[in-house]
Chain A
Amino acid sequence: MLLKIKELRASVKDTEILKGINLKVNRGEVHAIMGPNGSGKSTLANLLSGREGYEATGGEVLFDGKNLLDMSTEERACQGLFLAFQYPVEIPGVSIANFLKSAVNDIRAYHGLSKIDAMEFLTLAKDKMKMLDMDSKFLRRSVNDGFSGGEKKRNEVFQLSMLNPRLAVLDETDSGLDIDALKIVANGVNRFHTKENGVVLITHYQRLLDYIAPDFVHVLVKGRIVESGGKELALHLEKHGYDWAIKSKKRVN
């Protein structure tokens, strides 16, 4: 199993946000997590990647059998965990090329591999950019600096395809994309996805799931997964709203 989250509780600034999350992701699976604003979706993503200020107060997370919560952020990344940010950070002065080359090389070094050949890197990067319909001029631009909302999201998926992790968590990567960009980005994710890796999509919109078919859909409300199902669950949510999921949860209780 790729990811196993068991009874995970987490706080931000002493406020409990995640109140016992259970989630299992196998290789080859795509999971979608939906839920109202402020329900804790990004908190889960941040916690998985080890962001400071997000504290696990209970439960456990196993990544490929290893205790994820014991690892540093960069170790998690080197182990193959990737987070596409809801709000990608701008790093003025640092070109995407240099940034990604550092990432590729630091991950390679972690696995005892030598640095990537500069030509090989460039060829790979241009190839991936073409797939995502990005101008290769982007390689020389500063990371996310002055990018439009859509460009930032596309850049996240570009990095995903370059780093080729084992588990990708995409936090609202579809927000802010126009219809054409949505298709291109979804195509990028689909190209990345194989039997060997897993994808967790955090989204508010069913339309993303038209392009990336999820194996499972989970509804996160107030720090708990209140409903899980197949992709039809997303359609149902679209029709009936989260209220329905909350009420159905109450019925169960």
Chain B
Amino acid sequence: MQKDDYEGKFGSKDQQETLKRITKSDYKYGFTSDIETDTIPKGLSEDVVRMISAKKNEPEFMLEWRLRAYRHWLSMIEPTWPHVSYSAIDFQDIIYYAAPKKKAKLDSLDEVDPKLRATFDKLGISIEEQKRISGVAVDAIMDSASVATTFKKDLSKLGIIFCSFSEAIRNHPELIRKYMGTVVPYTDNFYAALNSAVFSDGSFCYIPKGVRCPMELSTYFRINTANTGQFERTLIVAEEGAYVSYLEGCTAPMRDENQLHAAVVEIVSHKDAEVKYSTVQNWYPGDEKGRGGIYNFVTKRGICHKNAKISWTQVETGSAITWKYPSVILKGDRSIGEFYSVAVTNNYQQADTGTKMIHLGENTHSTIISKGVSAGYSQNSYRGLVKVAKNAKNARNFSQCDSLLIGDQCGAHTFPYIEVNNPTAKVEHEATTSKVGEDQIFYCNQRGISTEDAISLIVNGYCKEVFRELPMEFAVEAQNLLAVSLEGSVG
């Protein structure tokens, strides 16, 4: 794929020169290659899966795996249990392989939709960053390339691998073979199977034994990956005693013509290791009438070995439909799983999100803090499973699921499932539903606070416990994001 070539290249000086030339001159033609003009016909078949694998120059084992996934997918039916509704997806009407689409290149920010720019400003995104996101051709691209290069050098000194998934398949096939599908097998669910058959690209991250990754790993640093495509795949492996904090997504609104997104994320946290995974998801939610918007059907799961820890923190504001349950399998004794979530829905958005904490080991602990905020005509559901296996002595779970309603046309729903098979387990579940009251808004207004600021204050206050878990800079952006997402939610 063109993007991988690009990434692979920027190490060498020659190629850096080439890159500089390309980015400075006419960007439109800069990356034209045989591969890029390549697309395949609509629809899904074994041939399509073979074609994708061939185009990506994958080793045999990868193709075999994709085919097994595809055949399994054929035997599955689309799930209907989430509390969302949408018209049926025609899986034969989707193009499963296309070279990443280049965004139209603009000469200056003046060409960017003023509405989008206003949003950028409200989010506090810097001018340079605005240019990068909206695809204005500037030297800044070179800057971020060099940042990324330095960054990669620092990481490789520590033995940390952080690259695209395709690159990892080529350069680290043994790691991919060892771990891929061990946490989310392709048999897991309909969309995981689909992803396994046709995944486009994603990220791979490996932290060796005893290494504490000194910086937040952000997909942002893997330049040119803004268009990873609709079937993204991420694998994170932390060896014994390792630590990494990983950031996915960005607060800027993300548009994409592909309506269906089905990503898979797998995390392996070995003995004494810790992985912190933070997401801000702001895919296009559709317009205020509910037209358009992304369907985001994601499978995220991690496995904890002895004494290990995995924390998921997510701020979900985008997508027309979100279907996502970042989960932790607490396999090792004394392992810890955490889930902190803010899911905001406005207008006609629908979200069905939550987590699964599977306690298998002894003395395993899990914490679930979920904050749902619904406005407009949206539907926001928390769905969570806490399962304690027969041998999981002294397992502990604390769940708190709060729903906040803005207006009276929206809905909040809670579906907690608790399965306890060991009498020593202690499972606590608390749930509250509250409303942003007109009297609260009036109280704020009377102090000179605008209604928009009042909502933002109240909602941010309500989500405090989750924001606390986000890396500092991310937290500030996420707060602004909430304000922007809820704009116009109160008359």
Contact = CB atoms under 8 A, between A and B. Distances in A.
Interface in A38-57: 49-52
Interface string A148-172: 0000000000010001000000000
Contacts of B453: 102, 106
Contact of B449 (A50, A74, A89): A74
Interface stretch (A62-70, A92-100, A130-138, A227-235): A92-100
A103 interface: yes
Nearest to A107: B448
B442 interface: yes
A221 to B, nearest CB: 26
User: Which of B442, B443, B448 has its CB near the most chain A CB atoms (within 10 A)?
Assistant: B448
Interface stretch (B17-25, B71-79, B457-465): B457-465
Given A102-B453, A102-B457, A93 B464 contact: yes
Nearest to A79: B448
A77 interface: yes
Contacts of A50: 445
Nearest to A93: B461
A91 B443 contact: yes
Contacts of B454: 102
A52 B448 contact: no
A76 B450 CA distance: 11
A175 interface: no
Contacts of A93: 458, 460-462, 464
A205 B453 CA distance: 37
A92 B457 CA distance: 10
Main SS at interface, chain B: helix
Interface residues of A, number: 33
B240 to A, nearest CB: 39
Nearest to B461: A93
A103 B439 contact: no
A73 B458 contact: no
A244 interface: no
A51 B442 contact: yes
A107 B460 CA distance: 21
B433 to A, nearest CB: 13
B461 A159 contact: no
A103 B449 contact: yes
B292 interface: no
A36 interface: no
A92 B447 contact: no
B188 interface: no
Contact of A83 (B446, B458, B460, B464): B446
B457 A98 contact: yes
Interface string A72-89: 111011100011010011
B171 interface: no
A77 B447 contact: yes
A207 B17 CA distance: 84
B462 A74 contact: no
Contact of A163 (B434, B448, B464): B448
B46 interface: no
A80 to B, nearest CB: 9
Nearest to A72: B445
A52 B458 CA distance: 20
B418 to A, nearest CB: 26
A77 B448 contact: yes
29 contacts: A50-B445, A52-B442, A73-B442, A73-B445, A74-B445, A74-B448, A74-B449, A74-B451, A77-B445, A82-B447, A85-B443, A89-B437, A89-B443, A91-B443, A91-B444, A92-B434, A92-B461, A93-B460, A93-B462, A94-B458, A94-B460, A95-B461, A98-B457, A99-B444, A99-B449, A99-B457, A103-B447, A143-B443, A163-B448
Interface of B: 434, 437-440, 442-451, 453-454, 457-458, 460-462, 464
Given A74-B445, A99-B447, A100-B447, 7 more contacts: A73-B442, A77-B447, A82-B447, A93-B458, A93-B460, A93-B461, A102-B453
